[in-house]
Homo-oligomer: A and B are copies of this chain.
Amino acid sequence: MGTGTTRRQPTLDEVAARAGVSRSAASRVLNKAPHVSRATRDAVERAIKELGYLPNRTARALATRQTGIVALAISHDDPELFADPFFGQVIVGVSSALEETDLHLLLCLASSGRGRSRLTNLLNTRGVDGIMLMALHGDDPLTHIVRRAGLPAVYGGKPLHFKPQWYVDSDNLGGARLATEHLLGLGRTRIVTITGELGTEAGAARCRGYREAMIMAGLTPYGVAEGDFTEASGAAAMRSLLDEHPDLDAVFAASDNMAAGALRVLSEAGRSVPADVAVVGFDDLAIAERTDPPLTTVHQSIQSLGKEMTRVLLELIAGRETASLILPTRLVLRGSA
């Protein structure tokens, strides 16, 4: 800026004039519309090249009522949470899916009230063609706003208490079942679980998966303590579980971070892993490779989540049929179980 010669971009009118055709003809060439003769096309294309013409995004958006922008909204009370690599992964996935289109990504951290109202305004002023929502807790007012705005919307991770028409989620239930079944397969029976926040769908589903697996094996859930997905909460939960059930022989933690906390507490308590207590986590974050012993865990691909959300959103925007998706999870065997 500042000193730049910022020569005004040529307009479509100038292109048309140079090519000796009307503006509408030029526009047709630009949009590869039918009913344009070879001669016209060539002339316009040459003029475009010579002038270095590029269509003005905003003008086109106004005429077509399509902004060429999709939003990714992350709604959470704590903006710091966004620093979690989780969202970075989502964004990488979203970007890769967007790469093949002409759409761009608008990122909204709707944590504060101000952030929410900015997002609301963006939706209501039709500032984006569609929106992806993540990390909604419970009955986030955002869901209403989105619905009222009547905009294509895809949810990442089912919100609790509300089944959106379109969402993409990891198979939390299946993953938790997988983990628990693996522990059962190892001959463990006194298996406890450290859950994530039960106020989130992921937290609840992973807990349900554990319960179902136990029951299917003819056992009853042996011990349940609620955490909030963080390492500290995992440690605390582990302590209370050891207290209540000193003879436990396996732990399924609903996140790697909590599993890491649990490992720490177990080692302090003199239990050896996996000999005395087998531990399985969930997420397969980088930390899972660095714990001692390395953590057996349930892998979910966050990038795929972002990619698939985007794919569904694109279909929606294009007005095509599409459907929600549950992404598979799989067990990654390392040393802890």
Contacts and interface: CB of A to CB of B under 8 A. Distances in A.
Contacts of A104: 106, 108, 118, 122, 127
Contacts of A9: 124-126
A83 interface: yes
Interface string A95-116: 1100110101111110010110
Interface in A48-87: 54-59, 61-62, 67-69, 79-80, 82-85, 87
B69 A126 contact: no
Interface stretch (A29-37, A146-154, A240-248, A265-273): A146-154
Nearest to A110: B95
A100 to B, nearest CB: 8
B79 A83 contact: no
Contact of A58 (B4, B62, B114, B151): B62
Interface string A121-146: 11011110010000000000000000
Contacts of A100: 114
A109 B92 contact: yes
Interface in A144-187: 147-153, 165
A1 interface: yes
Contacts of A218: none
A88 interface: yes
Contacts of A58: 58, 61-62, 67, 126-127
A57 B125 contact: yes
Contact of A118 (B55, B80, B99, B127): B99
Contacts of A165: 2
Given A105-B106, A107-B105, A107-B106, A88 B83 contact: yes
A95 B115 contact: yes
Nearest to A124: B54
Contacts of A67: 57-58
Contacts of A253: none
B106 A69 contact: yes
Contacts of A56: 125-126
A89 interface: yes
Given A58-B67, A85-B84, A152-B1, A95 B124 contact: no
A254 interface: no
A121 B88 contact: no
Given A57-B126, A80-B92, 20 more contacts: A1-B150, A4-B150, A5-B150, A9-B124, A54-B124, A54-B125, A56-B125, A57-B127, A58-B61, A58-B126, A61-B62, A62-B62, A79-B92, A82-B88, A82-B92, A83-B89, A91-B109, A99-B112, A104-B106, A104-B127
